[in-house]
Amino acid sequence: MIEVDRVHKSFGAVRAVQGISFVLQPGQVTGLLGPNGAGKSTTIRMVAGFLAPDRGRISIQGHDTIDDPIKARRLIGYLPESVPTYPEMRVREYLTYRCRLFGLERSVRKKAVDWALERCRVTDVAQRRIGALSKGYRQRVGLASVLVHNPPVLVLDEPTNGLDPTQIGEARSLVLDLARDRTLLISSHILPEIERLCSRVIIVAGGVVRADGPTGGIAGGDRGVLVSVKVSKVGDEARLRGLFASMPFVAAAEPVKSETMALREGFQGWRLLCREGAGDAQELIGAAAFANGLIVRELRTDAASLERVFMRAIETEGSVP
């Protein structure tokens, strides 16, 4: 378990993190998203014990990272974006060295290394030098190096960065396998990877949490409807905008690009964001369109993508949530 409670961190006049809080449970894969300068990397480094918070508290399995740092760090496997390996060392040699760093007894090191090699699917390159391996294999060796002491918590920063599609698929499968009995926190800027890997998403911008929820729910909570309406003369767009704005169950309306819908000449696409508790949005919009003499070619639910939720969250960076 990871507990982050009202954590703050500043670098001079720059307030990188401003009161971030979250709790991550075992068996949960959580994605931490944010633009550059959002406080994402600072948060990751504080959780991993590389930085100390100015205020607030972080604990790993009940061990405070400030009051009990050694025990807290031994419970974590942290893989930074740039995998820290020694290219001149052989894979088995490097993993054995990592066992020594983690304080594993000599009697259990070989068993621990064999287990990590097998778990991360690098047994076939155990005697090869790390510098001679492909990027995908080096990434897996890096993961084996943070897994060799079998920690209950894994913190992974951009685990699929720079990998080709085949390697990304292998890394994704491995991460999901590891998540079955661990708490995983993954930082990434690749939104499709977060959607595939994570059961929960935390979006950070301006040093604060802007959105937090289940991966499907955080996007699906946006009640959007796409409607394709016939337009025939100048001024129809303004008329439609006014009409949609007058509907009490519509919170916002905006034209959409043609690639979003299968539009024909003479039709314009709109995305309507409906208010909570409005009932069946499609039925209401269809009835309103009919009552106002609109010709509707297409009307369907538009489930919000994680990308849209992410962009909306970071657009509020200048305001206090």
Kindly report, residue by residue over 119-159, the tens digit of the pLDDT.
888 999 999 999 999 888 898 899 999 999 999 999 998 88
Helix, strand or coil, per DSSP, at residue 79: strand
pLDDT at 319: 45
- Read off the pLDDT band of 261 (50, 70, 90): low
Per-residue model confidence as pLDDT tens digits over 149-194: 999 999 998 887 777 788 788 878 888 888 888 899 998 877 877 8
The yes-or-no verdict on residue 320 having pLDDT over 60 is: no
d(CA 266, CA 227): 14
pLDDT of the residue at 291 = 87
Q: Give residue 173's Cα distance to chain centre.
A: 16
Residues 83 and 97: their CA atoms lie apart, in Å, by 15
Alpha-carbon span 180 to 28, nearest angstrom: 8
Examine the pLDDT at 111 and tell me if it is beyond 50: yes
- Say if residues 209 and 203 touch (Cβ distance below 8 Å): yes
* Cα separation, 171 vs 141, whole angstroms: 11
Q: Is the pLDDT of residue 17 over 50?
A: yes
pLDDT recorded at residue 34: 87
User: Helix or strand or coil: residue 127?
Assistant: coil
Question: What does the pLDDT read at residue 15?
Answer: 94
Taking residues 217-238, report their average pLDDT.
Answer: 74
Say if CB 221 and CB 51 are below 8 A apart.
no
The residue with greater pLDDT, 61 or 265, is 61
pLDDT at 290 over 90: no
Beta bridge partner(s), residue 111: none
Give tens-digit pLDDT for 72-86. 999 999 998 888 889
pLDDT value of residue 51: 93
For 52, other C-beta atoms within 10 Å of its C-beta total 12
* CA–CA gap between residue 16 and residue 45 (Å, rounded): 12
pLDDT at 260: 55
For all residues of the chain together, what is the average pLDDT?
86
* Residue keyed to tokens 């305001």: 319
Q: Which tokens in the block code for residue 215? A: 């991966």
- CB-based contact 122:144 (threshold 8 Å): yes
Give all domains of the chain, ordered by start, each with its CATH number.
2-219 (3.40.50.300), 223-303 (3.30.70.3100)
